Amino acid sequence: MSDLTKILILFAITVGIAVFGILLGYIAPAISTQMIKKDRLGELVDPDPADAYKEKFGKGTLAKQIKDLAEKIQTSNSTKVKTAKQEKAEKDLAHKLYAAGIAMTPATYNFIKNTLTFICLGISLVFVLYSGVDQTTALEVILIATMAPTIVLRYYVSGKVTSRQAQMENQLPDSLDLLATSVGAGMSFDQALNYVTDVMEGPLINEMKVLEREIGLGKNRSQAFKDFGKHCNSDAITNFAAAAIQATEMGIPLHDMLVAQAKAAREAHVAKVKTKAAKASIKMLIPMVTCIFPCIFVVLLGPAVMNILNSGIF
């Protein structure tokens, strides 16, 4: 395999990674945000007849067309008998997408993954046919191009889950402090929850808005808190939900519970920050050894080495 072929293969892989990065980093979040806004506004605003006609007969946006096509495929496949393993995998995927804050159904996710897989497979086949690479390299390129969408999307969703979970845990101490202060000032828990969701923003506040709406619609308070802890996918928030359920069922004053939970969340957050700070010094050794130390050695030992070489000893 010639050097030009290797350069072309590396260039194709780099371009593919860049395209996936742009797609997942900019286009997908924008589409998800617009879908969330549209769904929430649709629940609050009565549909206009003209908009309803356009919604029914118009073409709509590209995101809506992808969503509709994925739902049609899901409907056509719903008649097939699914095994317990397939149903569990679909539920786990739906839970992971929700935990990542991605407004997407498992059918839409699988549709996008399969579409990107076929596109990458077609591009890799065209590249292999016209580049003239050997058989081994061709199989490697096709295998990498076929597996890349699945791997990239999986790591993207996992990264979004981790990032959203960290954001919620960072917001938990402040939100619990404000809840405890509001309840201590004479508000009921529902009023304090409404006040917190009005003055704060973030993924945890969005989940609190869902909790507030469920309680307002008459859902059992214990079940609402249980679902709240499950949706947040965080141990700290799950502990708070369990404490709220226990306080509700046993008649413990909510203010005392909120103060205790806020203090525990604050201490856990400080401990986590200290742990990260302790690991920072160890992580700094990698760039120091690989980047800074070689430069220092060149500056300090370079003149001595040049003098030795010029002296004619070697």
Domain carrying residue 22: 3-162
User: Nearest to residue 102, comparing CAs of 205, 203, 225, 171?
Assistant: 203
Q: Mean pLDDT highest for which of 53-57, 176-180, 274-278?
A: 176-180
In the predicted structure, residue 147 carries a pLDDT above the cut 70: yes
Question: What is the distance between the alpha carbons of residues 144 and 13, in angstroms, rounded to a whole number?
Answer: 9
Claim to verify: residue 134 and residue 14 sit in the same structural domain:
yes
The predicted pLDDT at position 59 comes to: 44
In a domain, 309, yes or no: no
Asked whether residue 290 is assigned to any structural domain, the reply reads no
Q: What is the DSSP string of 171-221?
A: HHHHHHHHHHHHHHTT--HHHHHHHHHHH--SHHHHHHHHHHHHHHTT--H
Domain assignment present for 294: no
The tally of domains found in the chain comes to: 2
Q: Could you read off the pLDDT of 28-37 as tens digits, one per residue? A: 555 655 555 5
Question: What is the secondary structure of 28-95 as a DSSP string?
Answer: HHHHHHHHHHHHHHHHHSPPPHHHHHHHHHS---HHHHHHHHHHHHHHHHTTSPPPHHHHHHHHHHHH
Residues 20 and 157 in one domain: yes
**More confident of the two residues 314 and 233:** 233
Looking at the fold, whether 103 and 217 belong to one and the same domain comes out as no
Which CATH number does the domain housing residue 252 bear?
1.20.81.30
The answer as to whether 287 is a domain residue is no
Look at residue 41 and tell me whether its pLDDT is greater than 60: no
What pLDDT score does 217 carry?
85
pLDDT tens digits for 183-232? 888 888 888 888 988 888 888 888 888 888 888 888 888 888 888 888 88
Asked if the model's pLDDT at residue 48 lies above 50, the reply is: no
Q: What is the mean pLDDT of residues 40-62?
A: 44
- What is the number of other CB atoms lying within 10 angstroms of the CB of residue 200? 14
Band of residue 81 on the pLDDT scale cut at 50, 70, 90: low
